[in-house]
Amino acid sequence: MYKSIVLILLVLFPLMLSGVSNSSSTTPPFSYFITANWKTIPTLDNLTTINVNLITFLNSTKINAYALIAKILLPQGILNATEGHYVEDILPLSSQVQQYNIQFNITIVSSSLPNQLDFPVMLSLITENGGNVSYNTSFTLPYYGIYNFSIKLLNSSLIQGFQEVIFRINTPSPLYNGSILSPYFMKNVSLSYVNGSKDISVELFVPFEDIPIYHLNIPLTIRFLTPYNLYYVRQLVLETNVNTSISTLYANVRTPNGVVYPGYNNFNVSIVNKDTLPISNLTIIANYNNTMKMLTIPHLASNSAVNFILSFYANSNVSLKIYAFFYTPLGLKNVTLGSYYFPIVYPISVAWNNGNINISNRDNITLYNITVQFGQDAVKILKLSPKGNVLYPATIKPNLVHITFYSGNSVFSYWQKVYEVPFVRLNATYQFINITRSTTGTYTATLILYIQNTGNQNANNIYILIKPNGTAITPPFYVISQILPNETIAMPFTIHVTKNTVFQISMFYYYSNQTYVKNITIPLNYVKLTPGETVVNYLVNYVGKYTLYQVYGIPAIVIAFILIIILISIIPTVKKNTAKE
């Protein structure tokens, strides 16, 4: 942060000076700022990279220069890549303010350098008339020594199985926040600080072999933070001998399917004595989540095996360790047989997808007698093949379901939160309003198109296109950038109809890297009116609704028709009586 502030001030300072150059003559013709840092960790007799940052400020009104020669002198005990004593570079000057990054390799040839290394720097401006103007400066770098890390195994030989071993670390310079990794380690080694020599104890696993003695290569990856604020990383291999003649046991732990399910699981354990000596009073201890189970075997002959079943309740991944205590003619032996890991699997997956509950078998075996309970409803499936699924309609998504299934001779059950499959579903409805008719017989109306997203994800880039089939319509399309879930968008269209018309509405929308199309058809019948039909249609539109009104179950239009016939039959009689009078 401090370095950034200094850089900003140095950049702004000559600019401010240039703004007052007419009133002051104290502005220097050339100024600069130089910093440096280690790009790689210094090592003895190997190339090390130094990074130099140079910022220059050239006042072109006072001096005309087109190039800059930077010459960096190296301290005693340091050589360049060609075993010289300096590094030189020619830099172009093309603007008033310029920044350069210079990187060069050095070799440290002395093991006794000071804690602070001074690098004198000579800067020479090459002017247009061929002359040069020189400036002297320097930069310093902290030196914390070279790194020559070493590690060795103190155990002369190893035995098969799990055991504690001792490693000795030597470093001439301090290391921080370190780690040592190996595929044979039971866990990674973390070290906060090492300076000089340090012994560390590591639990190591040595593979079993059937030969008396074999060689084992132990790969190591070492990573430490150095005072240079750079990480020291090294990979190496340690070679050692393994003595397999010591009497040990071989163990094998497995489950019927290679995994564990939620609930009680059976673990098939085999203990094999492959030595030439028998084992007496064998005690096997299994440790799972601080739960101990013990089995005693009075005698296990040479090259024989004993099998038994362990049952544990699992609600997470299972890490199981097997230990053995036994007597041989050579005395009491204590052996860690192995550490075994079994991932827990929830084979039945329940998801809600657009009005359906999707029940699927994610395992590689067939499952039987599956029950999925949610609320008062339950789905029962007698058999579900690997990767198979069953759909069950449900209008409301359940939050939790209780799943029960059988595998082998065991029953397993667990609760699961229902996952909702993301989807987009667009529904369209419409209505006509403001319908008018001109004297030329053209109908004008407003078509309101409603687009609703009933899905659970955003619909993006919706393009609404209406094909009016020769009928005038404005606008011909709409573009909607986004419709949120449960959001409804209303779009008005003005139409002019002079004949029977079928509107073809096409919706294009983008979701999940795919484009979807949905088509909607709106038929519209055109009615051509004559002047005499206008009044009739007017009456039909405004009083026609009363013609279907019923009196004592008889439609009003029927009663009116009967009354008209009666009136027609009465009127002639009335006229005759009037004539006689």
CATH of the domain at 387: 2.60.40
Residue that is last in its domain, among 243, 270, 302: 243
| Same domain, residue pair 415 and 488 | no
Q: Number of folded domains in the chain? A: 5
Identify the pLDDT of residue 477. Answer: 84
**Beta carbons of 333 and 247 less than 8 angstroms apart:** yes
Instruction: Report whether pLDDT(314) > 90.
Output: no
Sequence-distant (6+) residues with CB within 8 A of 248 are 159, 160, 161, 208, 275, 333, 335
Residue that is last in its domain, among 91, 121, 142: 142
| Same domain, residue pair 438 and 455 | yes
| Same domain, residue pair 21 and 107 | yes
**Beta carbons of 220 and 204 less than 8 angstroms apart:** no
Please state, in angstroms and rounded to a whole number, the distance separating the CA atoms of residues 180 and 218. 12
| Half-sphere exposure for 447 (CA within 13 Å, toward CB) | 26
CATH of the domain at 274: 2.60.40.10
Residue 166 maps to a domain: yes
Query: Which residues pair with residue 287 across a beta bridge?
Result: 292, 321
Chain-wide mean pLDDT for the chain? 80
Residue 560 maps to a domain: no
| Lowest mean pLDDT across 66-70, 203-207, 523-527, 558-562 | 558-562
Helix or strand holding residue 185 (H, E):
none
| Same domain, residue pair 130 and 100 | yes
| Same domain, residue pair 45 and 134 | yes
| Same domain, residue pair 382 and 438 | no
* pLDDT (tens digit per residue) in 342-384: 888 888 888 877 778 888 887 777 888 888 888 788 888 888 8
In three-state secondary structure terms, 366 is: coil
**Beta carbons of 326 and 247 less than 8 angstroms apart:** no
Residue 212 maps to a domain: yes
| Half-sphere exposure for 337 (CA within 13 Å, toward CB) | 24
Residue 164 maps to a domain: yes
Residue 407 maps to a domain: yes
| Same domain, residue pair 45 and 136 | yes
Instruction: Report whether pLDDT(479) > 50.
Output: yes
- pLDDT bracket for residue 535 (50, 70, 90): very low
What's the 3-state SS for 550-562?
Answer: EECCEEHHHHHHH
Instruction: Report whether pLDDT(24) > 80.
Output: no
* pLDDT (tens digit per residue) in 80-125: 989 899 999 999 988 889 999 999 999 998 888 999 999 999 999 9
Residue 483 maps to a domain: yes
Residue 475 maps to a domain: yes
Q: How far is CA 56 from CA 5, 244, 495, in A?
A: 17, 70, 70
| Residue range(s) defining the domain that contains residue 352 | 348-420
Residue that is last in its domain, among 84, 115, 142: 142
Please state, in angstroms and rounded to a whole number, the distance separating the CA atoms of residues 230 and 484. 49
Residue 239 maps to a domain: yes
